[in-house]
Structure 1
Amino acid sequence: DALNVWKSQLVDPNNVLQSWDPTLVNPCTWFHITCNSQNSVVRVDLGNAGLSGPLVPELGMLAHLEYLELSRNNLSGPIPSEIGNLTTLFSLDLDHNQLTGSVPPTLGNLKLLRFLRLNDNQLNGKVPIQLFQLIYWGNLQI
Structure 2
Amino acid sequence: MAALKTLPLLLFLVLISAPPAFSTNSEGNALHTLRTRLSDPTNILQSWDPTLVNPCTWFHVTCDLQNHVIRLDLGNSNVSGRLGPELGELKHLQYLELYRNNFEGKIPKELGKLKNLVSLDLYGNRFEGNIPKSFSKLKSLRFLRMNDNRLTGSIPRELTALSNLKVFDVSNNDLCGTIPIDGPFTSFPMQSFDNNSRLNGPELRGLVPYDFGC
Do the structures match in fold with TM over 0.5?
yes
Normalising by structure 2, report the TM-score.
0.66
Secondary structure in 2 matching 1:83: helix
1:60 equivalent to 2:88? Answer yes
- 2:101 equivalent in structure 1: 73
RCO comparison, higher one (Cα < 8 Å, 6+): 1
- 1:43 equivalent in structure 2: 71
- 1:96 equivalent in structure 2: 124
Q: How many angstroms apart in 2 are the aligned matches of 1:136 and 1:58?
A: 26
- Corresponding letter in the other structure for 2:138: L
Q: Which contiguous aligned blocks of 4+ residues in structure 1 show a shift greater than 3 angstroms?
A: none
Q: Deviations over 1:75-108 (max 9, x none)?
A: 0010000000000000000000000110110000
Q: What pairs up with 1:80-119 in 2 under 5 angstroms?
A: 80-119=108-147
Task: Give the one of 32, 37, 42 matched to 1:14.
Answer: 42
Normalising by structure 1, report the TM-score.
0.98
- 2:153 equivalent in structure 1: 125
Q: Which has the higher helix share?
A: 2
When structure 1 is superposed on structure 2, of 91-100 and 132-141 the one drifting more is: 132-141
State the Cα RMSD in Å.
0.6
Identity over aligned pairs, percent: 55
Larger gyration radius, structure 1 or structure 2: 2
Aligned residues: 142
Shift of 1:136: 2.6
Unaligned runs of 5+ in 1: none
Unaligned runs of 5+ in 2: 1-28, 171-214
- Corresponding letter in the other structure for 2:56: C
Q: How many angstroms apart in 2 are the aligned matches of 1:102 and 1:42?
A: 26
